[in-house]
Chain A
Amino acid sequence: MASNVEMVKSKKPLQEKSKFQANIEDWKLSFKKYKILYLLLIPFITWYILFQYKPMMGLIIAFQDYSVFKGIAGSEFVGFKNFIDFFGGDYFWRTFRNTLLIGIYGLIFAFPAPILLALLLNEVKNKYFRSTVQTLTYLPYFVSTVVVVGIVINFLSPSTGVVNMFIEKLGFERIYFLTQPEYFRTIYILTMEIWKTIGYTAIVYIAAIAGVNPSLYEAATMDGASRIKQMFHITIPSILPTIMIMLILNIGNILSVGYEAIILLYQPSTYETADVISTYVYRAGLQNGQYDIATVADLFNAVVGLILVLGANKLSKKLTNNGLW
């Protein structure tokens, strides 16, 4: 090692060669140490090549006037025309803004919710209560979106919905929630991103908490630390890597707001906050057979997601020494 450093300092042309050599040295060492692990990686990487990267050529249809019949080979290349159409639409900026806002609010409100749930569950001593709550909160994930939305609409009904009945009891006027744009984001995030998924997503954090060394807690208790202090100084730092990875992945998905639930929940009068990219594309019937434009929307989401993840990953590595790659 020392000799390499000296070489680097002295002669320039040798610099690259030795860096390269140093690299090869590292690789050789790594192979030696982790022989079996590299072997394990082979089927893993092969899978990705076969099932993910091989079809990726298909992304080219975003640049084509694609016809399923003519196929990729036979369809005309149109460069960026599809992109211009996509970005130039009357409603592009509004739908982009809505998508982004829902994504950001989701990060702020929906992301911490399962973490909170896992932490609270951790504080419950009665194992039957804990187990019951865990199971019950996990249930809504399995009820299909259509059904959950139906229930939400019922709850929010101005005439028979429980929410409005409650509001009236408090002395306020009933509200036709689903037609008011200012309520849409709250309703969507509360129901689809929290209520429906909190229990299922919490599983990751529950498992992470289960992996924390109990002796750490014992030591802290002996030092007289309260449970809350323990939560902040032991539990959370211990599961921080898990939280960071989840955060980075969620940031990358910030624009992936699916259309299924929104289509069922929105109204034209709430378009100004509810109409997102995927719902607009859906209404234009573009999902039926016009794969080129759908691919453009996907690519757009992907590029933005990737840029955000690159940033988030760098930040995470700086702050916690831990990142996606």
Chain B
Amino acid sequence: MKKRLQLLFLLVAVALIAFGCSKEDTKEVTAPSDSKNETEGTFVSKDPLELSIHLHYADKYIFDDEWLVFKEAANKTNVTLKGTASKNATDSNEVFNLMMASGDIPDIVHSSVQNLNQFGAEGAFIPLNDLIEEHAPNIKKAFEENPEAKKYVTSTDGNIYTIPFIRDGNPEKGWYIRYDWLEKLNLEVPETTEDYYNVLKAFKTQDPNGNGKADEIPYASRGGSRGIEYFTDLMYLWGAYDGAFLKDGEIKYGPLEEEYPIAVKNLAKWYKEGLIDQEIFTRGKNSIIELAGNDTLGAAHDWFGSTAGVNALYKDQIQGFAFKPFAPPTNTKGEKFEESLRDPVGSVGWGIAHSNENPVETIKYFDFWFTEEGRTLMNFGVEGDTYTMVDGKPTFTDEILTAGNVADYLKSTYGVQMEIGFKQDFAYEEQWVDPIAFEGMELYEENGYFIDKEDDYPLLSFSPEEQEESNSIRTSIETYIDENLQKWILGASDVEKDYPAFREQLIKMGAEKYLEIQNKAYKR
């Protein structure tokens, strides 16, 4: 009897202990700031913690408390975020500035690295260096794996105020051409600058759209942010650049280099011969559609993903329409590469306000997004709701893939792919990018056309004085350059004659000082 009782007692004791242990697995971590003990559970705070957040970027992405991704994150970390930015405002810059002016800064602020650095230096945000060291192992690892990210967010006083958005994926723009026209005119895909010229010339003179008029527009562009980036992408063909670029570890300025007048001279010639859209300056952001639709568009150098979209639009309307990517032509210096490359780091991220009473929990919350779990959550969303596992890979649901603009839909509806501090996964984009574009991207990847990240123009961080001086000089010289460039292209003046005086004037306006500032920041 006693033995059985003892056995029973033992069994019950063991059962109790086993039960107690497994229960502990789901209990919250009891030592809040003792991160060494936090191996079980992803809770970063013992008690449910609510933090306020200012997130308002690209004028339209405003933090929504209902976003599935963040709600799920709250379940996992015990931290709930409450957005403070007004949903009515459509100017992210204004909203940020007014928030800072009002003195009421929320616990977490999402903004540009530049803003966080600037105001961090003034005391609005706390330096995160030590916090990362002690409490954010995943962020630490991410910085080790992505040194350019760490460099970018380290402000000139050595402090890190931002946990940035780290991009994934290389492709930005590619070279596109009408494959059906090439076929029609019996031409090979252009391989060199000279080939390209000949092909464009053929487009113009041999009437590939078959309507008896020389209305073809061999090269067109949607325009860029600087106002004149319409055809300056073509400068690559002669090894020239329209602005600052990185070569052999040194930042140089395109318009000061000897290749520049050669490129301009050629572009003026092309424009004169009608190879470049005569109205390229005013045609606007719909140019690709407009010209594709009129069956006059021959070639372009534009964003991979979106440009491929014209194919779906016009394949029925225009017989045989095929606007596809091809390898960058080898330029006159014998180089063959695509110079547009995605920045490895986004220019935004989030930081911790000086008034935040829970900095340790906050940095741990930031750290969560760099864990495998957090990364998947932000890249793909919640399993079952936004994606399902197919062959071990997260695959978006049909609802999402048929949403029209997938990237935008994911962001606005679920909060997926918000540019907070986390590392993106290009796999998310592969699922919905236009197949023609995807083919092109693969072509470029496999052949190594994309330049290495180290050779890409770096993201630079400046002190406020440097920033001011740099901006001021840059506005001046860009005004001067753009004005002259357009005149040369239009044929209103001759680049070969004007160039020496032009170059001298640029230097007088501070072009070399500008380079000095950039190089100083680069080499820091």
In the complex, are there CB atoms of A and B closer than 8 Å? yes
Q: When each residue 112-130 of chain A gets 1 if its CB lies under 8 Å from chain B and 0 otherwise, what string results?
A: 0000000000000000000
| Count class of interface residues, chain B | 20 to 34
Contacts A153-B284, A289-B97 given: A159-B472 contact, CB under 8 Å? no
Taking a contact as CB atoms closer than 8 A, the residue among B118, B279, B478, B482 that contacts A159 in the complex is B279
Indicate whether A322 reaches chain B with its CB closer than 8 angstroms. Answer: no
Contacting residues of chain A (141-173) with chain B, CB-CB under 8 angstroms: 150, 153, 157-159
Alpha-carbon separation in the docked complex, A284 to B480 (Å): 13
| Interchain CB contact (< 8 A) of B228 among A158, A268, A286 | A268
CB-CB under 8 A from B119, the residues of chain A are 67, 69
Complex: how many Å from CA A291 to CA B228?
Answer: 27
Q: How long is the Cα–Cα vector from A202 to B405 in the complex, in angstroms?
A: 46
CB <8 Å contact, A70 and B122: yes
CA distance in complex: A70, B487 (Å): 45
A262-280 vs B, Cβ < 8 Å mask (1 yes, 0 no): 0000011101100100001
At the interface, yes or no: A288 with Cβ under 8 Å from chain B?
Answer: yes
Contact A268 B103 (CB under 8 A): no
A96–chain B nearest beta-carbon distance, Å = 15
Complex Cα spacing A268 to B228, Å: 8
Against A, the Cβ 8 Å flags (1 = close, 0 = not) of B137-157 are 000000000000000000000
Q: Which of A278-314 contact B (CB under 8 A)?
A: 280, 283-286, 288-289, 291
Residue of A nearest to B481 (CB): A268
Complex CA–CA separation, A269 to B271 (angstroms): 15
Q: Are B279 and A272 touching (Cβ within 8 A)?
A: no
From A69, A283, A284, contact of B100 by CB (8 A):
A69
| A176 and B278 within 8 A (CB) | yes
Measured CB to CB, the nearest residue on chain A to B485 is A268
Cα-based distance from A271 to B122 in the complex (angstroms): 38
B124 close to chain A: CB less than 8 A = yes
Q: Which partner residue on chain B sits nearest A288 by CB separation?
A: B93
User: Could you say which residues of chain A place their CB within 8 Å of the CB of B103?
Assistant: 71
Contact of A268 with B483 at beta-carbon distance under 8 Å, contacts A69-B100, A90-B476 already known? yes
Partner of B509, one of A90, A283, A285: A90
- Say yes or no for B101: interface residue by CB 8 A criterion: yes
For the complex, is A179 an interface residue (Cβ under 8 Å from B)?
A: yes
Are the C-beta atoms of B284 and A267 separated by less than 8 Å?
no
> Are A269 and B483 interface neighbours, CB within 8 A?
yes
A6 and B122 alpha carbons, distance in the complex (Å): 68
Q: Cβ of A67: which chain B residues have Cβ within 8 Å of it? A: 118-119, 122
A158 & B122 in contact (Cβ 8 Å cutoff): no
Closest to A282 in B: B475
The chain A residue sitting closest to B100, CB to CB, is A68
In the complex, which residue of chain A has the Cβ closest to the Cβ of B468?
A290
Q: Would you give the shortest CB distance from A289 to chain B, in whole angstroms?
A: 5
A218 at the interface (CB under 8 A from B): no
Report B-chain residues with C-beta under 8 Å of the C-beta of A267: 281-282, 486
CB-CB under 8 A from A200, the residues of chain B are none
Selected from B228, B282, B471, B482, the residue in CB contact (under 8 A) with A284 is B471
| B479 near A269: Cβ-Cβ < 8 Å | no
In contact, B472 and A89 (Cβ under 8 angstroms): yes
CB-contact partner of A68 in B101, B482, B486, B487, under 8 A: B101
From A69, A176, A284, give the contact of B279 (CB < 8 A).
A176
Q: How far is the CA of A271 from the CA of B485 in the complex (A)?
A: 12
B490 near A89: Cβ-Cβ < 8 Å: no
Q: Say whether A85 faces chain B, with CB atoms less than 8 Å apart.
A: yes
Q: B122 contacts which of A69, A159, A280, A283 (Cβ < 8 Å)? A: A69
Closest-by-CB residue of B relative to A267 is: B281
On chain B, the residues within 8 Å of A70 by CB distance are: 122
Does residue A91 face the partner (Cβ distance < 8 Å to B)? yes
A288 to B480, CA, bound (A): 22
Who on chain B is nearest to A67 by CB?
Answer: B122
Q: Specify which chain B residues have a CB less than 8 angstroms from the CB of A283 in the assembled complex.
A: 475, 478-479
Q: Is the CB of B278 within 8 A of A158?
A: yes
Q: A70-B122, A89-B476, A268-B486 are in contact. Are A285 and B101 (CB under 8 A)?
A: no
Closest Cβ of chain B to A61, distance in Å, is 11
Whether B482 lies near A157 (C-beta < 8 A) is: no
B227 within 8 A of A: yes
Question: Are A157 and B97 in contact, with the CB atoms below 8 A?
Answer: no
Assuming A153-B284, A289-B93, is B471 touching A269 (CB within 8 A)? no
- B278 cross-chain contacts in A, Cβ below 8 A: 158-159, 176
Per-position binary interface string of chain B over residues 98-109, scored 1 when its CB falls under 8 Å from any chain A CB and 0 otherwise? 101101000000
Q: How far is the CA of A289 from the CA of B124 in the complex (A)?
A: 16
Check A91/B476 contact, CB under 8 A, given A153-B282, A153-B284, A268-B227: yes
Q: CA separation between A89 and B103, bound complex, in Å?
A: 33
Most B CB atoms within 10 A — which of A68, A275, A285? A68
CB closest chain-A residue, reference B477: A90
Q: Which residues of A contact B115 (CB under 8 A)?
A: 289
- Apart from A69-B122, A269-B487, what are 10 other A-B pairs with CB-CB below 8 Å? A69-B119, A69-B123, A70-B122, A85-B472, A153-B284, A176-B490, A179-B281, A179-B490, A271-B482, A285-B471
The 10 closest A-B pairs by CB, nearest first: A268-B482, A269-B486, A284-B475, A68-B100, A68-B101, A90-B476, A268-B486, A268-B483, A69-B100, A69-B124
15 A–B pairs (Cβ distance < 8 Å), ordered by A? A68-B100, A70-B122, A71-B101, A85-B472, A90-B479, A90-B480, A91-B476, A268-B228, A269-B487, A269-B490, A271-B482, A272-B483, A285-B475, A289-B115, A291-B97
What is A's interface to B at a CB cutoff of 8 Å?
67-71, 85, 89-91, 150, 153, 157-159, 176, 178-179, 267-269, 271-272, 275, 280, 283-286, 288-289, 291
